[in-house]
Chain A
Amino acid sequence: MIQSIFIENFRCFHKTDIKSLKRINLIGGQNNVGKTTLLEAILLGVNPSDKSVIFIQQKLRSDYGNIDSPELTWQSLFFNFNRKENINIMVSTAGATFGARFAVKDVKKKPGIVSQDNLIADETLLKVVDNSAEDETVQSSLVCYKIQPESGTSPAMRLEASKGKLKFGISGGLPTPIFFVTFIPAGFKPLPAAMADDFEKLRYRGQDDVILSVVRIIDPSIDRVEVFSFGSKKIHLQRKEQPFIPITMFGDAINKVVNITLKIANSQNGILLIDEIENGIHYTHQHAFWSLLFKVARKFNVQIFSTSHSLEMIRAFNTVAINEGLADDTQYIEMFRSARNGEIVGNMISHDTLAYSLVNNQTFRGE
């Protein structure tokens, strides 16, 4: 479990130190204050891999690089787009401190014929371009250094952007992930077959009861959960004496809570990052949802970081944390830009103060 994170020169973060993280962390704040970026930093800090970089750039930010000017490809990762200042992300657990440094190296080279690269996540970059007749171009690389205070800093992997393409030139081997990390983006709709696979993993381990429990929070009449593979593989839900219905025919809430619960249960000893957890979940179900989430996270030893704009979701989080005696296991973090020094801060608000703020209409979401 990570206890603190230091972020330097990453996207909107100039220099931010967030301490006293707990098992379940709910993050609130105004738009564009860095809530999603904090999740990205956690991902890069504990798992600084090529996939993590491509995921946050392409899947989360729809930033596919710049195939005409490779030197611009990585700039959005850097504070104020300033590639000259390295990104540093340091993470501390109870027994260790580690992290990653990202830097850009530009090299001038003669272009050649560029072939399609199947590793790229989006087809907009899958171009075959003949640059051989052009002048010298820049190859811009994002170099990741693994930082471990005991053993120092060592280059771990490199992502190259050349004119016409983005490719992975991995040197030194990928860093070993410190934690298994899963990221659920805002508005993410899981693939039905992937959810079914996750459910079968749980069933294999005899731990699938938790899915029926979470489904019943939304619809207490549901009696059974099964996976059927004919047609297309999907989880199916059954109400008493009713036919099985594919989960995709139910609303967003059931799909969302099932997916989150599956990800927790299949991320044992890992970290789950959830952007905008409240999406689709009606406020009347939020208390029960948090209660179950707390239990499942403890059972599978998963640390959760989730963002939310929802007043009801924050209230439910705090109420359940207090009522179930989980103050030491849960934390609400208010993010805002400090009026004193302009830095983004993560303000740890105690359950008592949050409860007090909620009933007295005080501000606690960065206002």
Chain B
Amino acid sequence: MAHTLLIVESPNDEAFFRLLIQTGQQPEITPIQDTEIEHLHNFVGTDGKEKRGKDALPEKLAVIKTQLSKSRPDIQHIAVILDADSPPSGGKQQSLALINQAFEKAFGVNTGFTELGQEVEKEVDLSGEMTLLKLSCYLTHDSSGEGNLDTVMKAIASKSCPESDCPEEMNKCVVGKTGKPMRDFTKQWVNYYVRSHASKKQLQNAEKRLHEVITDQGTNIFDLNSPLIAGIKSYLNQISGFPA
């Protein structure tokens, strides 16, 4: 069966998108294609320092290219979902450019992505064998068109939660005194929110197991019908047969 390989930024992203695919599945109606999801954490750069997220995409794609002939012959579509983030280092154009450059470096093809959800078919030289691959990408964003999966998850959180609501007050206090929000506040907010729904076992190694909470509790703690994630669901439908 034809596979799609979906590359995302983090284990939490992987758990969330896997949740969206699974909850959207209606196998009796729509045949679901087999989609693999891999994240961009746990890599070490050649300088010995940890490399994760967007920074690790070019190397990840290069490694995948070598695997396509060797051990993953079923993969016919490589999809990438990154955070849109915000200018100057991020934003739609910057992030799409980063994805285009990573595909160019790894596969020697010009994907020319300018829009979210864009899909191209490219003939790729896999060690002398010309192979047609689908390549596509999407950027996770909030209503402003920027942001990341954390801002989206915060926006679609559906439960009242003192563990994250109280830090919200603290952030307001910090903003009032400094004019700027707490550093990584949204990430921390989501962290508290998800942790508050973790089981005792999951809390034992919470940093590494928060994604399990998203898998187990995601349908209860997030509004998966929110219009804010309609775009990402549509893209997942496009790459995996998930019904929109």
Contact = CB atoms under 8 A, between A and B. Distances in A.
B32 interface: no
Nearest to B131: A340
A223 B126 CA distance: 50
Interface in A318-367: 322, 334, 336, 338-341, 343, 345-350, 352-353, 355-357, 359-360, 362-364, 366-367
A360 B45 CA distance: 8
A339 B69 contact: yes
Given A338-B127, A345-B129, A353 B62 contact: yes
B58 to A, nearest CB: 8
A338 B69 contact: yes
A50 interface: no
Contacts of B68: 340
Interface size class of B (residues with CB under 8 A): 20 to 34
B66 A364 contact: yes
A360 B52 CA distance: 12
Given A338-B70, A338-B73, A350-B62, A355 B129 contact: no
Interface residues of A, number: 30
Contacts of B46: 322, 352, 355-356, 359
B36 interface: no
B66 A340 contact: no
Contact of A360 (B43, B126, B128): B43
A363 B63 CA distance: 9
Contact of A356 (B63, B67, B72, B73): B63
Main secondary structure of the interface of A (DSSP, over half): mixed
A365 to B, nearest CB: 10
Given A359-B48, A362-B63, A346 B127 contact: yes
Interface in B57-78: 59, 62-63, 66-73
A356 B46 CA distance: 6
Contacts of A343: 129
B62 A338 contact: no
Nearest to B56: A356
Contact of B128 (A19, A350, A352, A355): A19
17 contacts: A19-B128, A334-B70, A336-B69, A343-B129, A345-B69, A347-B127, A350-B62, A353-B63, A356-B46, A356-B63, A357-B63, A357-B66, A360-B42, A360-B63, A362-B63, A363-B71, A367-B71
Given A18-B128, A346-B127, A356-B63, 5 more contacts: A17-B128, A338-B69, A340-B129, A347-B69, A353-B66
